[in-house]
């Protein structure tokens, strides 16, 4: 026993190294588990505060660009405003409010930290549980999708951006409505890859790719990007389509978190399908 202790003591540098590495690997592997999250959620509020303070300082320099983007967005909303339309046929514009039930709720938030150079990129937003943000909500910018909320604390939330090798988005070609799966390969922050589109489908370079709405997270028809090129391996019956993201992830200031109000209902329905 004394020899063992002496041995451990003599080589403590090595054993401490092993222990710390094992702990670090444990953290890495458990990174996606709820338990690991809960522990670091409390620190999230502290780091969030610091990042927000810093962001308040630096966001001043980005004001010009942010204004431009907001102005463009305003213009688009004006385009959708009823006053921008001429009534040509009164019947076509008959709207009975009780027919419409709101399905998506938008909450605006400011990006306080963001990265594009890692394999797994995350954003932090300056709103959290208290503002109505919940896990799994979709996050979009004014010109396209950004990611999905994975973690919320009281005042802040973490978003897994689609620039994350774990992220998958159900997307479709707008022209043909063919649905595939979109992901990021981890290299160029402007390019994604759309797979599972069968080889008989016709499309053009420059076609728009939008969300399919099948995942219940993103509303249908949110812009993802534009087809820039494609590949097909000999003997393969599916395209690999390269998509240029419409959002510039290096220039994100304000985003919207979107809640699908019926998500729970839809998932319950799906689960009862599986049981039968």
Partner 1 sequence: MAAKNIIRFFVLLLLQVLVFSNINVNGYIYPAFYVYFILLLPFEIAGWLLLILSFLMGLGVDVFTNSLGINAAASVFTAFLRPGLIRMLKSKKEYEPGISPGIKDLGFRWFFFYALILISLHHSALFFIEAFSFKDILQTGNRIIASSTATLILVLLLQFLFYKQDKR
At closest approach, how far in Å is the CB of 43 from partner 1?
A: 6
At closest approach, how far in Å is the CB of 138 from partner 1?
A: 19
Q: Using CB under 8 A, list all residues that contact partner 1.
A: 12-14, 16-17, 20-21, 23-31, 36, 40, 43, 47, 51, 54, 113-120, 122, 158, 186-189, 250
Specify the length of the chain in residues: 276
Closer residue to partner 1 in complex, CB, 24/261:
24
At closest approach, how far in Å is the CB of 123 from partner 1?
A: 9
Q: What are phi and psi of 167, to 5 degrees?
A: -85, 135
> Is 142 exposed, middle or buried (CB count within 10 Å of its CB: 0-12, 13-18, 19+)?
middle
Side-chain-side CA neighbours of 84 within 13 Å: the count stands at: 8
Closer residue to partner 1 in complex, CB, 26/77:
26
Question: Any idea what the Cα angle at residue 225 is, between residues 222 and 227, rounded to 5°?
Answer: 130
Two structure tokens written together for 5: 């202790």
Q: What b-and-e string marks burial along 41-55, b requiring 16 or more CB atoms within 10 Å of the CB? A: beebeeebeeebeeb
Contacts of 38 (CB under 8 A, 6+ apart): none
Closer residue to partner 1 in complex, CB, 32/199:
32
Two structure tokens written together for 77: 């909303």
At closest approach, how far in Å is the CB of 243 from partner 1?
A: 16
Closer residue to partner 1 in complex, CB, 105/251:
251
Spell out where 94-178 has E strands: 104-113, 120-125, 138-141, 144-152, 157-164, 169-173
At closest approach, how far in Å is the CB of 272 from partner 1?
A: 35
Closer residue to partner 1 in complex, CB, 27/63:
27
Closer residue to partner 1 in complex, CB, 12/78:
12
At closest approach, how far in Å is the CB of 250 from partner 1?
A: 6
At closest approach, how far in Å is the CB of 59 from partner 1?
A: 13
Closer residue to partner 1 in complex, CB, 44/211:
44
Q: What b-and-e string marks burial along 150-172, b requiring 16 or more CB atoms within 10 Å of the CB? A: bbbbebbbbbbbbbbeebebbbb
């Amino acid at each position: 026993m004394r020899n063992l202790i002496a041995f451990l003591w003599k080589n403590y540098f090595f054993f401490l190294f092993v222990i710390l590495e094992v702990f670090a690997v444990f953290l890495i592997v458990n990174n996606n588990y709820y338990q690991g999250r809960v522990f670091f959620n409390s620190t999230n509020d502290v780091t969030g505060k610091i990042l927000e303070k810093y962001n308040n300082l630096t966001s001043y320099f980005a004001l010009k660009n942010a204004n431009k983007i907001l102005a463009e967005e305003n213009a688009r909303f004006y385009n959708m405003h009823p006053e921008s339309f001429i009534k040509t046929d009164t019947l076509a514009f008959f709207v009975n409010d009780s027919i419409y039930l709101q399905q998506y709720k938008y909450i605006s938030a400011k990006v306080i930290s963001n990265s594009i150079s890692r394999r797994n990129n995350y954003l932090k937003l300056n709103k959290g549980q208290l503002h109505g943000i919940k896990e799994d909500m979709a996050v979009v910018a004014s010109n396209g999708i950004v990611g999905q909320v994975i973690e919320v604390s009281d005042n802040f939330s973490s978003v897994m951006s689609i620039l994350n090798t774990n992220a998958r988005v159900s997307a479709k070609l707008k022209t043909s409505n063919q649905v595939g799966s979109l992901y990021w390969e981890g290299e160029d922050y402007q390019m994604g890859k759309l797979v599972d589109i069968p080889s008989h489908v016709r499309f053009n370079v420059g076609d728009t790719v939008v969300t399919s709405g099948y995942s219940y997270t993103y509303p249908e028809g949110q812009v993802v990007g534009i087809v820039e090129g494609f590949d097909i391996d000999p003997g393969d019956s599916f395209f690999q389509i390269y998509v240029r993201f419409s959002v510039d992830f290096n220039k994100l200031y304000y985003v919207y978190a979107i809640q699908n109000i019926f998500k729970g209902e839809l998932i319950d329905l799906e689960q009862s399908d599986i049981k039968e």
